[in-house]
Structure 1
């Protein structure tokens, strides 16, 4: 089984990433591989993970984690084969909490496939571009397909300060399914590297 974590990348009160992650999990449940049991999709919420600002004394590349919260986060990430980051775009980039969670670890991200579901005024595409660079640096493999949700066309918002309702266009679910196909394919291709690294 390929295990995919859908990581909620914002902890802001009244965030929209929670409802977007719910849509991702629900739509992913209609993917053939998920229905057949070959793929599992689980939501991981950074708000409940509760990482402080990076407080490890040794760079993550060394793999010498000293804090219990780091070890718990490492065990969570290590359990998955692939990831979908759900992220808004903040000031042309990603939320600090998401970048912080990435920076805590290194080996646990290695040789795993990553996809992006972003949202914002411009669909969050600039957040996805920054995430691609960060994930390449930790030796993860970002897939080509991504879902970009516009706050103008993929949400129902009566007031911009409210969470609203996510209502993606008809093309978004097929795009998400295509991304899942790529995550499964790349995760499978990279499995020998993960296995070799685990054996060392």
Structure 2
């Protein structure tokens, strides 16, 4: 089986977002592992319109070329890590719209979460898990929540220290998340490939 490919999705599109700092940190940690190929996927790069198709692409092919380009990018991956900002106790509107713009591309693939903020985006991630389940994804148990004093240590509005400053308390959860995600990514990738082979027989 070929090495799996995992997309690290930056879910905030604000000019003043904090997301780039933890996203780069997670990418660097991922690249040290060698158990998958990892790529940053920035919602800013896709300029998605608000969902306005006849139906989900589970039922009808999407018509907007920007939506189709997004679907093609998402389809490249075997699993995902969402870098999650929490806005008013939920995920960003940009992320919800991006999730709605695809369906078949998400299905039977695992998702992991890195959240940041005063409560580590815990409330947003719980909602995101439910959305992922409806998309027939596999949310993994272990996640990373950069919260409280750790968040204010690395946040630009706080001490603005490098992410390495919080690796002591947060590092173990990062390793657990990757281990869990890679296991499920390999398992679901094998199962999807078996489905394709059986359908071709």
Residue 146 (str. 1) matches residue 119 (str. 2): no
Worse-matched range after superposition: 146-155 or 84-93: 146-155
Instruction: Give me the TM-score of the superposition, normalised by structure 2.
Output: 0.88
> What are the Cα deviations for residues 13-45 of structure 1, in whole angstroms up to 9, with x where unaligned?
1101111100110122222xx2xxx31111000
- The 1-side partners of 2:25 and 2:188 are apart by 27
Higher strand share: 1
Instruction: Give me the TM-score of the superposition, normalised by structure 1.
Output: 0.88
Residue 104 (str. 1) matches residue 106 (str. 2): no
8 A contact 1:60–1:103 mirrored in 2: no
Question: How far did residue 173 of structure 1 move?
Answer: 2.5
**Alignment correspondent of 1:85:** 82
Worse-matched range after superposition: 172-181 or 19-28: 172-181
Q: For residues 186 and 53 of structure 1, do their structure 2 counterparts lie closer, same or farther at Cα, with a shift above 3 Å needed? A: same
Runs of 4 or more above 4 Å deviation: 197-200
**Alignment correspondent of 1:175:** 173
How many residue pairs get aligned? The number is: 193
8 A contact 2:142–2:176 mirrored in 1: yes
**Alignment correspondent of 1:126:** 123
Residue 29 (str. 1) matches residue 25 (str. 2): no
Structure 1, unpaired ranges of 5+: none
8 A contact 1:83–1:113 mirrored in 2: yes
Residue 190 (str. 1) matches residue 188 (str. 2): yes
**Alignment correspondent of 2:48:** 51
Question: How far did residue 61 of structure 1 move?
Answer: 2.2
When the two chains are superposed, the root-mean-square deviation of aligned CA atoms in Å is 2.1
